[in-house]
C-alpha cells in the first residue's frame, strides 16, 4: 500500500480513539439533558473537578490547604498518607454524589420552570464556581494522574501492522483502554436505563415530567440520581483525559469540544453522542492531515465547531435528535 | 420627592417621546454626562484610568452590543471575543494603512486612517463579519446557536493567529498600535495621556449608548423583541426574521467591534489574539450582560462596572490588605463570579437593572408610601 494511505489509516484510527474521549464527555451532557432538560455546560468542568479531587485524595493532600495556610498562617499540605487508586475512586464518587445533591438543592431547585436558556446560563455560572472551587481545594498547578492505566505505544499493533504493511501504526495503549471503557459504559448505561427500576423512572421523567410526577416518581430523587450518573461519567472522562494530558485547566476547554459532538449527534441520543464523537474525532484529525499543513496547522482548534455549524444549517436537530416541532 | 411626574407637563409629541420622560431622570442624566466629560478628565490619574475607567468604558460598549443580541433579540452568542478580535485587527489594519497584494507584489497601500475613523471602520468590518456568522441563526435556534457561535470564536482567533497579513508580518505575531493623534493630542501609543484616552473612549461610549437606546425604543427594537419573545408569532404578524435577526447581529457586532478596537488600540496598546480575545472574554461579557440585566442599556453599564470593580476590589482587600497570594485571590474570584451568576439568575433574573427599577419605584413614593 502507498505510504500516504497508510498514514491516513493511522490518522483515522487515532481520530477514532480521540473521538471516543470526546464522546465520553458528551455522554454526560446527553444524560442530564434527557432527564431534566438542562444543557449542562459544567460537564467538562465536572470532569476536571473529579480528576483533581481524585489526584488530591490519592496524594493525601489537605483540601483547601492554601486557603487555610493563608488565613491561619499555618503550613500544612499533606496528611502524610497515600490512598490506593480503587479506594480513592470510590471516595471521589462520594464527592460527586454530594456535588449532585448540592447542585440540585442549592441551584436547580430554585430554577424549576425557568426557560432553558436561563438554566444553560446557570450551568455556565456553575462551571465557573466549580473551576474556582477545584483550584481552591487542590491548588491550581498541573497535576499528574496515575491510576495504573497502561500508557505508551501498543507494541502488538505496532508489530502486526509492521509485518503486514511494512509500517507500524502508532496507537496509544491508553486510547485503547478508553475505547473499551467507553463501550462498557455505554452498554452498562443502556442496560441500566432499560431494565432497572430507576432506569425506567429515568426514562419516564425524560419523556414527560408531569406524567412522571403523577405516577409517583420523585423528580428530586431522579435529578440527584442523574446528576450523580453524570458525575460518574465525568469522573471516568476525567481519569482518561487526566492520564493522557495531566489534570489542568485546559481539560475544561477540551470538554468544550463535546458541544459540537452533541450538535452532530443530537442532544437527546446516547448513540448519537458516540457517533458524533467518532465523526468529530476522525474528521478533525483527517482534515489536519490533508489540508492542515496547507492552511497553517492547528486546525483542530476550530474544525469541530465549523463542521457542526455547517451540518446544523442542513439538519438543525442533529443526526439522531428528535425532530424539533415548534408551536405558537 | 424623587422621580415625580407631577408638575412635569408635556406640551408636544417631542416632549412625550424623549428618552427620559421624567424631569428628575433627565437632570440626573445631564449631571452624569457633565461629571463624566467636564470634571473627571481633570482629576483622574493613570491608575484610575487603567484599572477602572478604561476597562469599564470599553466593556460597557461590548456589553451594550451583546445585550442587543441576547437581551433584545434573544440570540445567544458565545463569540464575543472573536468579534472583538475582528474589531481590533480591522482597526490595526486601517491605522497602519491596508496593503493589497496580488501575486506576491504590493498592488497599492491605502493611506493611514485617523484613529477615530480606524475605530469606526473596525466596528463596520465587525458588523459585516457578524452578519456572516449570523446567517445560521435563521435555521438554528436556542443553545444550538450558542454553540454554533463558538465556531466564530475559535475560527476567528485561529485566522488572526495564522494569517500573517493581519499582523503585518511582524515576527512576534503581535499587533501594537502606533502613535496616532487627534488635534495634536496623542490618543494611542506610549505617549498618550490618561485623560485623552479616557475622553476618546468616553465619546464612543456616549454615542453607543444613545444610538443603542434609541434603536431599541424604535421600530428596530420592537422587531427584535418580537423575535425574542416568539419568533414564529413575530413572523406571522409581519416581522421579517431575516432582516430582524441580521440587523441585530450587525448592530451588536458593530458595538462589539468598536469595543475590541478600543480595547486593543487605546487600552492595551499591544495585543496577542489568543490571550486578549479568547473564549474567556466571551464569557466575561456574557456575565456582564446577565448580571447587569438582559434587555436594558443601563444594565450593560451596571454589569460592566460590577465585573470590572469586583476583581479590583478583591485584589485590594485580599492581596493588599490581608496578604493572600494572588493565585488564591484569583480562584476566589472565579468562585464568587460563578456564585453571583447563579444567585442573580435565581433571585433577580433581570439583573442589577431590575434592582434599579425597583429602587426607582420605591423612591417615587418615598417618603409617603400609600
Strand partners for B101? B106
Q: What is the pLDDT of residue A255?
A: 67
* Residue A253, pLDDT above cutoff 90: no
Residues of A in contact with B279 (CB under 8 A): 253, 256
Query: What's the confidence (pLDDT) of residue A69?
Result: 81
Q: Is residue B142 scored above 80 in pLDDT?
A: no
Going by pLDDT thresholds of 50, 70 and 90, the confidence category of residue B225 is: very high
Give mean pLDDT, residues A137-160.
77
Burial of A326 (0-12, 13-18, 19+ CB in 10 A): exposed
A131 touches chain B (CB under 8 A): yes
pTM attached to this predicted model: 0.89
Percent of chain B with pLDDT over 70: 99
pLDDT confidence of residue B277: 93
Task: Tell whether A305 lies on the interface with B, counting CB pairs under 8 A.
Answer: yes
B338: pLDDT strictly greater than 70? yes
What's the rounded mean pLDDT across residues B257-280? 91
B235/B241 Cα distance (integer angstroms):
6
In eight-state DSSP terms, residue A268 is T
Q: What angle do CA B82, B86, B87 make, to 5 degrees?
A: 120
The most confident of A316-325, B63-72, B314-323, by mean pLDDT: B63-72
Taking CB atoms and an 8 Å limit, are B144 and A132 in contact across chains? no
Q: What is the DSSP letter of B169?
A: T
Predicted pLDDT at B247 = 95
Mean pLDDT of B314-326: 82
Q: Residue A36 pLDDT more than 80?
A: no
- Cell 427500576 appears where? A197
Say if residue A153's pLDDT is above 80. Answer: no
Question: Containing H/E element for B186?
Answer: strand B185-186
Residue B34 has a pLDDT of 94
Nearest to B331 among A140, A298, A305 (CB): A140
Residue-wise pLDDT tens digits, B98-118:
888 887 788 888 888 899 999
Q: Where are the domains of chain A?
A: 33-261
Mean pLDDT comparison of A306-320, B137-151, B199-213, highest-scoring range: B199-213
Question: Shortest CA distance to A277 belongs to which of B136, A124, A269?
Answer: A269
- A–B interface: beta-carbon pairs under 8 A: 142
**pLDDT value at B275 more than 70:** yes
d(CA B49, CA A108): 40
Cβ atoms < 10 Å from Cβ of A35: 25
Tell me: pLDDT of A1 over 70: no
pLDDT for B257 equals: 96
* CB–CB contact B279 A66 (8 Å): no
CA distance B360 to chain A (A): 26
Question: Of residues A246 and B332, which shows the higher confidence score?
Answer: B332
Residue A23: CB atoms within 10 A of its CB come to 32
Where is pLDDT greater, at A9 or B284? B284
Q: Which of A148-157, A279-288, B19-28 has the lowest mean pLDDT?
A: A148-157
Task: Report the C-alpha gap between B337 and B339 in whole angstroms.
Answer: 5
Instruction: Please name each of the domains of chain B with its CATH number.
Output: 20-29+46-365 (1.10.3470)
Q: Does A9 touch chain B (CB under 8 A)?
A: no
Partner-chain residue, chosen from A110, A124, A298, that has the shortest CB–CB distance to B346:
A110
Residue bearing the bigger pLDDT, B95 or B191: B95
Give burial (CB, 10 Å; 0-12/13-18/19+) of B200. buried
Assign B1 a pLDDT band (cuts: 50, 70, 90): low
Give residue B370's pLDDT band: very low, low, confident or very high (50, 70, 90).
low
Q: Kindly calculate the radius of gyration of chain B based on its CA atoms and give it in whole angstroms.
A: 21
Contact between chains at A296 and B162 (C-beta distance less than 8 A): yes
| Average pLDDT of the segment spanning B10-35 | 88
| Average pLDDT, integer, range A200-206 | 85
For residues B205 and A71, the model is more confident at B205
Q: Identify the residue among A132, A265, A293 best suited for mutation to test binding to B, counting B beta carbons within 10 A and taking the highest.
A: A132
Asked if A107 has any chain B CB less than 8 Å from its own CB, the reply is yes
Looking at residue B128, its pLDDT comes to: 96
Mean pLDDT of B218-245: 92
Contact A319, A23 (CB under 8 A): no
Q: What is the mean pLDDT of residues A3-25?
A: 82
Backbone angles phi, psi at A73, to 5 degrees: 75, 15
> Which residues 6+ apart lie within 8 Å of A261 measured at CB?
A19, A22, A23, A25, A26, A273, A276, A277, A280, A304, A308
Average pLDDT of chain B, as a whole number: 89
B341–A306 C-beta distance less than 8 A:
no
Q: Tens digits of per-residue pLDDT, A116-141?
A: 778 888 898 999 999 899 988 888 77
Peptide bond into B147 cis (omega under 30): no
pLDDT confidence band for B300 (50 / 70 / 90)? very high
Model pLDDT, residue B239: 93
With left for phi above 0 and alpha for psi between -120 and 50, is residue B3 left, alpha or beta? left
Amino acid at each position: 500500500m502507498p505510504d500516504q494511505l497508510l498514514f491516513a489509516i493511522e490518522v483515522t484510527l487515532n481520530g477514532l480513539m480521540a473521538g471516543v474521549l470526546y464522546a465520553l464527555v458528551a455522554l454526560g451532557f446527553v444524560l442530564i439533558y434527557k432527564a431534566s432538560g438542562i444543557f449542562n455546560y459544567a460537564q467538562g468542568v465536572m470532569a476536571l473537578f473529579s480528576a483533581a479531587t481524585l489526584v488530591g485524595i490519592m496524594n493525601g493532600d489537605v483540601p483547601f490547604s492554601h486557603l487555610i495556610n493563608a488565613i491561619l498562617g499555618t503550613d500544612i499540605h499533606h496528611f502524610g498518607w497515600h490512598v490506593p487508586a480503587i479506594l480513592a475512586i470510590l471516595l471521589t464518587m462520594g464527592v460527586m454524589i454530594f456535588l449532585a445533591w448540592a447542585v440540585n438543592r442549592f441551584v436547580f431547585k430554585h430554577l424549576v420552570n425557568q426557560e432553558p436558556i436561563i438554566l444553560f446560563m446557570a450551568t455556565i455560572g456553575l462551571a465557573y464556581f466549580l473551576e474556582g472551587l477545584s483550584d481552591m481545594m487542590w491548588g491550581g498547578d498541573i497535576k499528574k494522574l496515575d491510576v495504573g492505566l497502561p500508557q505508551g505505544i501498543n507494541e502488538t499493533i505496532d508489530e502486526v501492522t509492521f509485518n503486514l504493511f511494512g509500517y507500524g501504526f502508532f496507537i496509544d495503549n491508553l486510547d485503547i483502554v478508553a475505547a473499551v471503557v467507553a463501550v462498557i459504559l455505554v452498554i452498562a448505561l443502556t442496560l441500566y436505563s432499560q431494565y432497572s427500576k430507576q432506569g425506567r423512572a429515568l426514562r419516564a421523567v425524560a419523556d414527560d415530567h408531569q406524567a412522571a410526577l403523577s405516577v409517583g416518581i420523585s423528580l428530586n430523587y431522579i435529578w440527584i440520581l442523574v446528576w450523580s450518573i453524570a458525575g460518574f461519567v465525568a469522573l471516568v472522562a476525567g481519569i482518561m483525559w487526566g492520564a493522557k494530558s495531566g489534570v489542568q485547566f485546559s481539560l475544561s476547554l477540551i470538554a468544550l469540544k463535546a458541544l459540537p459532538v452533541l450538535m452532530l449527534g443530537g442532544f437527546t441520543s446516547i448513540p448519537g453522542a458516540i457517533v458524533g464523537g467518532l465523526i468529530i474525532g476522525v474528521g478533525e484529525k483527517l482534515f489536519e492531515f490533508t489540508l492542515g499543513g496547507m492552511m497553517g496547522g492547528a486546525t483542530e482548534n476550530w474544525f469541530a465547531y465549523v463542521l457542526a455549524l455547517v451540518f446544523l444549517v442542513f439538519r438543525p436537530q442533529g443526526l439522531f435528535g428528535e425532530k424539533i416541532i415548534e408551536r405558537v | 420627592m424623587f422621580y415625580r411626574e407631577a408638575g412635569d407637563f408635556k406640551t408636544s409629541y417631542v416632549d412625550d417621546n424623549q428618552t427620559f420622560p421624567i424631569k428628575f431622570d433627565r437632570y440626573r442624566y445631564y449631571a452624569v454626562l457633565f461629571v463624566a466629560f467636564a470634571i473627571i478628565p481633570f482629576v483622574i490619574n493613570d491608575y484610575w484610568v487603567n484599572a477602572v475607567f478604561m476597562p469599564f468604558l470599553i466593556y460597557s460598549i461590548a456589553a451594550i452590543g451583546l445585550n442587543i443580541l441576547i437581551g433584545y433579540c434573544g440570540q445567544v452568542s458565545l463569540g464575543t471575543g472573536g468579534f472583538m478580535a475582528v474589531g481590533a485587527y480591522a482597526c490595526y489594519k486601517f491605522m497602519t494603512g491596508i496593503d493589497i497584494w496580488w501575486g506576491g507584489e504590493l498592488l497599492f497601500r491605502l493611506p493611514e486612517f485617523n484613529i477615530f475613523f480606524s475605530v469606526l471602520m473596525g466596528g463596520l468590518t465587525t458588523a459585516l463579519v457578524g452578519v456572516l456568522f449570523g446567517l445560521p441563526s435563521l435555521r438554528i435556534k436556542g443553545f444550538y446557536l450558542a454553540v454554533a457561535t463558538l465556531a466564530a470564536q475559535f475560527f476567528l482567533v485561529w485566522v488572526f493567529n495564522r494569517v500573517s497579513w493581519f499582523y503585518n508580518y511582524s515576527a512576534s505575531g503581535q499587533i501594537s498600535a502606533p502613535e496616532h493623534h487627534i488635534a495634536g493630542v496623542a490618543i494611542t501609543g506610549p505617549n498618550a495621556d490618561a485623560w485623552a484616552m479616557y475622553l476618546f473612549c468616553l465619546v464612543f461610549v456616549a454615542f453607543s449608548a444613545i444610538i443603542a437606546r434609541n434603536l431599541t425604543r424604535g421600530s428596530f427594537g420592537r422587531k427584535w423583541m418580537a423575535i425574542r419573545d416568539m419568533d414564529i408569532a413575530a413572523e406571522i404578524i409581519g416581522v421579517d426574521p431575516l432582516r430582524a435577526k441580521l440587523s441585530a447581529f450587525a448592530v451588536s457586532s458593530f458595538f462589539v467591534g468598536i469595543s475590541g478596537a478600543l480595547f486593543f488600540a487605546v487600552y492595551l496598546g499591544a495585543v496577542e489574539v489568543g490571550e486578549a480575545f479568547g473564549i474567556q472574554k466571551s464569557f466575561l461579557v456574557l456575565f456582564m450582560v446577565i448580571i447587569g440585566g438582559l434587555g436594558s442599556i443601563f444594565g450593560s453599564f451596571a454589569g460592566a462596572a460590577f465585573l470590572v470593580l469586583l476583581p479590583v476590589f478583591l485584589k485590594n482587600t485580599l492581596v493588599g490588605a490581608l496578604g493572600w497570594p494572588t493565585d488564591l485571590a484569583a480562584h476566589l474570584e472565579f468562585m464568587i463570579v460563578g456564585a453571583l451568576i447563579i444567585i442573580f439568575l435565581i433571585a433577580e433574573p433581570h439583573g442589577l437593572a431590575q434592582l434599579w427599577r425597583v429602587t426607582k419605584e420605591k423612591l417615587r413614593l418615598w417618603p409617603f408610601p400609600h
